[in-house]
Amino acid sequence: MTERPFVANPPLPLRLAAAVGATMLALGLSLTLTPLVRGNPFILFFAAIAVSAWYGGLAGGLVSTGLSVVLSNYFLIPPTGAVTLNLTDALRLLIFAAVATLISSLSAARRTAEERAWAEAGRFRVTLASIGDAVISTDADSRVTFMNVVAEQLTGWTRTEAIGRPCAEVFDIVSEATGAPVESPIERVLREGVVVGLANHTLLRARDGTLRPIDDSGAPIRAPDGAVTGAVLVFRDQTGQRAAEREREVLLAATQAARQTAEEAVKLRDVFISVAAHELRTPLTALLGRAQLLQRRAARDGLADERDASALAVIVAQAQRVNKLIAAMLDVARIEQGRLSIELAPLDLRELVVRVVEELRSAVEDRPLQLDERARELPIMGDALRLEQVVQNLLDNAVKYSPAGSPVTVCLASADGQARLSVTDLGVGIPAVALPSLFERFFRADRTGSPNVSGLGVGLYVVSEVVAQHGGAVSVESVEGQGSTFTVTLPLRA
């Protein structure tokens, strides 16, 4: 990381001005696209708030939130051109403000994490460049990605010449006894993922042919998930420099400290998401309950005209959507902490799937749901609520990424002692490059030509974890532009 990926500490007036500018731009676009945003007048303001919080921190996000509330009420919520609030509009704005505050907090936290990561990476590179040992780092293909000045002096290669070359070409070592080539410790590090050192009596052959006795060690560079992404090689000229052993210990300590800092940052983020979700859930539940009560009373007593009834329906639907997002964030936190509760009991997967499909049919009339039942009974041991969550997530995804009128097919079958549930759509599909990461936490595939679908990228992650805790597996097959098929397999009950 050689260039800062963000503006460093912009002045407060500039941050606030950026927040105001982004909000005004969102207003201008909303007014221009009024027919498209009439159902959700806040959609473009969410983007302005996220940008404001990322650039200007929490202060910028909150300024954008407050300004968005005023402008959307004045220009976009009927009657326009006046700051008036009835109960319905007040509830809508209150929910919008709550969600916007969450977005501001998350965006500001992300910027803080980026700043810390950039600073830590800079300190790490300075450490590597300034220590007294020679250092070479490689990628997973054993190609040189970095070398410091000492390594340049001992190998005879400049950093510019070495970058991108195989490490064995730059770090050329031979046996002192026979002169035969010796395997580079980098190769073993990448192959076994362990810290290794050279055998005694090993010589480094510099670019000009000079031979030097050296001592070295190689260590893997790991991603947060533990995967080996490269290796770092530390070596020294043993001629009169035995005392340099302490330098290597300093380097290893710095590497461990950097890794620990990164892990602590990830834990802090997870704690923040969990706390934020818990804090939002209580007031949101109260708001949703009040809105639903108001909706039922209005329908029963005929107190709301068609416009107000429609507005109440939007409020309830949006509150339910936010409630689902918060529930998903809580599920992620439980999974990461190993506290996701699964209560197994005998059930028929077919009955569960049929019920979920029937409940969803009325809500997606423009996308017919087709049920292909090749098995009349699928007895399993499972948690009914969690498996309903799996089916709902798969069906929601299929509907969201399918064009209107396109069917979604749910297939139930059994084979080899396994119950199989497949959900197939004829939508935009998933790019092949995104398939390996599709079930990772917070991953969202870039689907070209897809509708503007919002989300946190946790639905499929929760699906995979729930299925795994049932002893099953989930897979996906997709061709971009032709559709996708998600398949869940679960062991049948004897």
Output 38 or 387, whichever has higher pLDDT.
Answer: 387
Q: Which CATH number fits the domain 132-240, given the four candidates 3.30.450.20, 3.30.365.10, 3.50.40.10, 3.40.50.620?
A: 3.30.450.20
Q: Which tokens belong to 330?
A: 């809580």
In 3D, which of 106, 389, 108 has the Cα closest to residue 274?
106
Residue 380: per-residue pLDDT:
92
**pTM score, whole prediction:** 0.41
For 251, the enclosing helix (H) or strand (E) is helix 245-301
Integer Cα distance of 47 and 44 in angstroms: 5
Percent of the chain residues topping a pLDDT of 90: 15
Is residue 474 predicted with pLDDT exceeding 90?
A: yes
Integer Cα distance of 232 and 252 in angstroms: 10
Same fold, 132-240 and 345-491: no
- SS3 label, residue 458: coil
CA 409 to chain centre: 28
Integer Cα distance of 140 and 143 in angstroms: 8
Residue 427: per-residue pLDDT:
87
Integer Cα distance of 201 and 197 in angstroms: 12
Is residue 231 predicted with pLDDT exceeding 70?
A: yes
Alpha-carbon distances, residue 425 vs 55, 62, 476, 483 (angstroms): 38, 40, 12, 5
- SS3 label, residue 172: strand
Alpha-carbon distances, residue 89 vs 96, 147, 258, 317 (angstroms): 10, 61, 49, 14
Q: Which tokens belong to 201?
A: 């009596």
Percent of the chain residues topping a pLDDT of 70: 78
Contact 279, 271 (CB under 8 A): no
The pair phi, psi for residue 486, each rounded to 5°, is -100, 130
345-491: what fold?
Heat Shock Protein 90 (3.30.565)
Alpha-carbon distances, residue 312 vs 77, 252, 292, 317, 320 (angstroms): 13, 60, 8, 9, 12
Domain ranges (residues) in the chain: 12-120+265-336, 132-240, 345-491
Model pLDDT for residues 442-455, shown as the tens digit of each residue = 777 765 555 555 55
Contact 143, 157 (CB under 8 A): no
Model pLDDT for residues 50-67, shown as the tens digit of each residue = 777 777 777 777 787 778
Residue 130: per-residue pLDDT:
61
Model pLDDT for residues 10-39, shown as the tens digit of each residue = 777 887 888 788 888 877 887 788 777 666
Model pLDDT for residues 291-332, shown as the tens digit of each residue = 777 777 777 777 777 777 777 777 766 666 666 666 666 666
